[in-house]
């Protein structure tokens, strides 16, 4: 069962996501009947917002509902991408080479504050903070899920808006930061952790998510092969400073985390990541709290040793199991408690 395709109806730069409650009802029926459900609404809407309103308009030649052949081909590709995102695609054996090549799209179901009257701690980052839909369905967890249990949720919303596969750059350019900003209010907090996906190429045709290494002000202009837009790419540090400045402008408190370390051993030590150093440099320059996860967790792994660290990972070296995510969540709390001034101290259990 599928949710609805998306109509060409926009407001404030955002496209309409479904007509009424039909998508919600479809999901409820699918769950009750025990059948697979594909959230094509969000998949298509996300792609439309990447492409932009002007380009999407050309996909609807007659009205705001029915697509051109090009628009239908795009929607068909996204339906197959949703199929590929299932844990078990029942049609996998029948896909063409083109169908098999489409990267799987996972319905993220990103949360929002459950009680808007309370302050909110927003988590932003990549799959090491929130893996997939945040339910551990692939045996991999980010630390943003178990960390909720470390806070008093009667006093503070903890909202994990991290998205797997994104860099600091693509978290901004794909509109996820704008959605957080729309919810952000004075008294809130934003904890950010990026770096694992920032080291890729700037303009490769598969992902185009890399940032310029370091914290400088240098830029590079590219023609983005995914969005079909001209883009000015900045440094890793520039994107962190952008998040910090925007959060402060909203009256919120930013907190920087260096990226968790990979399970990469060398001479009995865990390799440190240069992005950890750059995150620390930005935090110091901007005078914001730093939770140096790269160092805190690396030291913990070294204390445990390779044999005990092995089950903390759900893949070769990057994504943690539930046990690893719990350890990392504890490391975040330890890092916060180690600060001269812990900005969220009053909300901890």
Which domains, and CATH codes, for the chain? 10-101 (3.40.50.1110), 120-347 (3.40.50.1110)
- Give pTM, 2 decimals: 0.81
DSSP 3-state of 323:
helix
Residue 226 has pLDDT above 80, yes or no: no
CA 270, CA 264: separation in Å to the nearest integer?
Answer: 6
Indicate the average pLDDT of the chain.
94
Query: Residues 127-144: what's their mean pLDDT?
Result: 91
CA 231, CA 211: separation in Å to the nearest integer?
Answer: 12
Write down the pLDDT at residue 101. 82
Q: Where are the beta strands (DSSP E) in the chain?
A: 10-11, 14-15, 120-125, 157-160, 189-193, 220-224, 229-233, 253-257, 265-266, 269-270, 289-291
Among candidates 161, 304, 315, 308, which has minimal Cα distance to 243? Answer: 161
Residue 137 has pLDDT above 80, yes or no: no
Residue 20 has pLDDT above 90, yes or no: no
Paired tokens of 36 = 């697979």
Contact 171, 158 (CB under 8 A): no
What sign results for the dihedral spanned by CA atoms 189, 277, 296, 146? positive
Strand partners, 124: 192
CA 128, CA 165: separation in Å to the nearest integer?
Answer: 9
Give the phi and the psi of residue 276 in degrees, each rounded to 5. Answer: -65, -45
What percent of the chain has a predicted confidence (pLDDT) above 70? 100
Could you report the per-residue pLDDT of 89-110, keeping only the tens digit for each? 899 999 999 898 887 777 777 8
């Amino acid at each position: 069962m599928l949710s609805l395709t998306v109509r060409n109806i926009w407001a404030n730069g955002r496209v309409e996501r479904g007509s009424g409650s039909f998508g919600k009802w479809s999901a409820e029926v699918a769950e009750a009947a025990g059948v697979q459900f594909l959230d094509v609404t969000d998949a298509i809407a996300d792609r439309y917002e990447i492409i932009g309103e002007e380009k999407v308009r050309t996909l609807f030649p007659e009205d705001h509902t029915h697509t051109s052949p090009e628009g239908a081909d795009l929607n068909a590709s996204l339906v197959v991408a949703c199929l590929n995102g299932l844990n078990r695609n029942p049609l996998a054996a029948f896909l063409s080479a083109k169908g098999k090549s489409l990267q799987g799209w996972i319905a993220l179901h990103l949360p929002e504050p459950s009680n808007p009257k309370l302050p909110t701690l927003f988590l932003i980052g990549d799959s090491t903070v929130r893996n997939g839909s945040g339910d551990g369905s692939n045996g991999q967890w980010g630390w943003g899920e178990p960390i909720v249990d470390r806070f008093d949720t009667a006093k503070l919303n903890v909202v994990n808006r991290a998205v797997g596969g994104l860099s600091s750059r693509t978290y901004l350019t794909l509109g996820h930061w704008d959605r957080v900003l729309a919810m952000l209010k004075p008294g809130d907090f934003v904890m950010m952790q990026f770096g694992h996906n920032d080291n890729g190429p700037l303009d490769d045709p598969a992902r185009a998510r890399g940032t310029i290494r370091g914290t400088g002000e240098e830029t590079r202009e590219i023609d983005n092969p995914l969005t079909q837009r001209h883009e000015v790419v900045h440094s890793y540090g520039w994107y962190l400073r952008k998040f910090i400045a925007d959060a402060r402008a909203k009256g919120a408190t930013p907190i920087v985390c260096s990226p968790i370390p990979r399970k990469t051993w060398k001479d009995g030590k865990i390799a440190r990541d240069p992005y950890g150093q750059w995150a620390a440099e930005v935090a110091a320059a901007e005078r914001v709290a730093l939770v140096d996860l790269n160092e805190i967790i690396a030291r913990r792994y070294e204390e445990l040793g390779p044999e005990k660290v092995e089950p903390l990972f759900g893949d070769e070296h990057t994504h943690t199991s539930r046990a690893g995510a719990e350890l990392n969540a504890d490391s975040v709390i330890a890092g916060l408690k180690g600060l001269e001034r812990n900005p969220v101290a009053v909300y901890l259990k």
